[in-house]
Amino acid sequence: MKRFAAVILAASMLAAPSLATSMPADSIAEAIRDSRRPAEDTARDAARHPAELLAFAGVGQGSVVVDWVPGGGYFTRLFAIGVGSTGMVYAWVPSELKDKYDLGKNAEAIAAQYKGVTAVIEPMLATTSIKNADIVWTSQNYHDLQTPGFGNVDTLVFNKQVFAMLKPGGTYIIVDHRAADGAPVDETADALHRIDPAAVKTEVEAAGFVFDSESVVLANPADAHDLNVFDEKIRGQTDQFAYKFKKPAK
């Protein structure tokens, strides 16, 4: 348990003082050791730093968390335990992509496994049914918005949709693979599956969000940012950023 307490302390040092502390170390430990997590998830814990990122996001008992494009559900399962019996997790999947990589099927399977998880499958830019969320989270997906596979989505419209589903003061977390500083998004998003963090900040702030803080637990200075993230030379070791944005309280 002392190790998890140390992890939370380390995470707090990587973020602004507004870091939520509602999820104590023992709750994070419980989420990580949950026996329902598949072996392929636990094998990735060392690289994905779930304890630090759950603390950074401010997930806590009673939180309403939206996990956009949850993939295989790595973080969805952790959120399901982290929000406790009074919270809710929405596994939010665009209906246009529900058959891609079994995204819809995976979300529904996790919803069946965890009482507090609901699969929401709806059109990418439709007026969402989700309201008053505390946290909207997306990991390694934001860059995909500007790729043909996701339909080259208008990021302003998408981010305004996220803005609308959050309660005032709510949190928007974006974790993604870092591209070289100043690299054009249209040259990196599809070819490398990376994005310049400065571009993300500009796009998200244009929708009304305020940048809050950054966690560097996924940083890797040895990554030259020039390889596709699926290249075996860098896969699983990419330089990633984790940004926290806030919807203004008023």
pLDDT in tens, the chain (250 residues): 333 333 333 333 333 333 333 566 777 888 999 999 999 999 999 999 999 999 999 999 999 999 999 999 999 999 999 999 999 999 999 999 999 889 999 999 999 999 999 999 999 898 788 999 999 999 999 999 999 999 999 999 999 999 999 999 999 999 999 999 999 999 999 999 999 999 999 999 999 999 999 999 999 999 999 999 999 999 999 999 999 999 999 8
pLDDT at 86: 93
Of 239, 212, 215, 211, which Cα lies nearest the Cα of 226?
239
The pLDDT of residue 11 is 39
> DSSP class of residue 223?
-
Topology of domain 57-246 in CATH is Rossmann fold (3.40.50)
* Helix (H) / strand (E) containing 246: strand 240-246
Residue 24's pLDDT is: 63
pTM over 0.95: no
Residue recorded with tokens 């979300």: 107
Under DSSP, is residue 245 helix (H, G, I), strand (E, B) or coil? strand
Q: In the prediction, which pLDDT does 126 show?
A: 83
What pLDDT was estimated at residue 29?
Answer: 87
What confidence score (pLDDT) does residue 4 get? 37
DSSP string, 83-117: T-TT-EEEEEEEGGGTTGGGHHHHHHHHHHH-TTE
Cβ-count burial of 65 within 10 angstroms (0-12 exposed, 13-18 middle, 19+ buried)? buried
